[in-house]
Amino acid sequence: MKIVVLGAGAWGTALAMQISQKHRVTLWARNAGHISGMRKARSNPLYLGDFPFNDQLLLEDNLGEAIHDAELILSVVPTSGFRAILKEIKSLNHKAPVIWANKGLEPGTAKLPYEVAFEELGDPKKTGQHWGALSGPSFAAELVRSLPTALTLAATDETFTKSLASMIHGNNLRVYTSQDVIGVSVGGALKNVIAISAGISDGMGFGNNARAALIARGLAEITRFGMSLGGQKDTFMGLTGAGDLILTCTGDFSRNREVGLRLAKGQTIDEVLKGLGHVAEGVYSAKEVVNRAKALHVSMPIMHEVNQVISFSKSPKEAVIDLLGREQKSETQDV
């Protein structure tokens, strides 16, 4: 099977390297200089160090050439560029299934990847072009070291989902299946915002108790939001909900947690992003989540405060004080 991976950042490269153990893979990036450098190094030193590519991993900067005879397209471009890449695929009249591994909400519209896919590729039940999400608790730096990793593949067609999952499942990578594309997309996008709050808490020295409380209450916010869109509650207790949230809030490789740590040290968001060197989706998702939550009438106090810090320069200390000062209520209250 020929698979093309779009996006040569750390995660896209790690997935391409993993899948190329079993299939022929083309890794595409728009930047010709980046592709040229990887061809020479046979690795991705810019984003992933010197882990070597095997002979089944090819490199391409021309999208048409990359997807020409691909049987599966795996998009790992940032969420801000997801719609544009789908438009390009459509303009090339390519009908291969599209799976995405990006996690976030589209800037300006607050739409999740499955909503963007529906608008750009159409209803797979009518077009026959399947699409879905690959998500779960995963750091690129661990996957390329062949450390155990588990992901969930969610698509609307059960037969297609099981068939594809079996193709990429194996070695150190376990792939579970789901039909809850909504829930899987929500969990992956919103956990990044909670991870920023966890980083702020850790950076201010609030300890393990506070971090655990943020994770638990953050999961409640994610679940409320996801269920309001039609996601299934059980999904948020699984790999792409609780699993991904815990990892991103506690792991040293978490870029979103790192954002929070730096904000807690007094850096401005512009200084944080300049020094980070990688995309941190939570920064761009915070405002979109809050705006959409208002439209859905879903209470999300933690995400609200994170957005206040990122978008309105509220001090992390003041945000924590306001969270602690909220009215006492039952743990199961939704408001």
CB-count burial class (<10 Å; 0-12, 13-18, 19+) for 50? exposed
Closest residue by Cα to residue 296 from 330, 326, 335: 335
Q: How many whole angstroms separate alpha carbon 45 and alpha carbon 222?
A: 35
Strand partners, 74: 5, 99
Does 22 qualify as catalytic in the annotation?
A: no
> Which H or E run contains 107?
none
List all residues 6 or more positions away from 79 whose beta carbon is below 8 Å from its beta carbon: 102, 103, 104, 105, 106, 107, 113, 189, 281, 284, 285
What is each CA distance from 231 to 76, 118, 131, 292, in whole angstroms?
A: 22, 16, 17, 15
Catalytic residue among 103, 111, 191, 287: 191
* DSSP assigned state of 242: I
Residues designated catalytic: 191
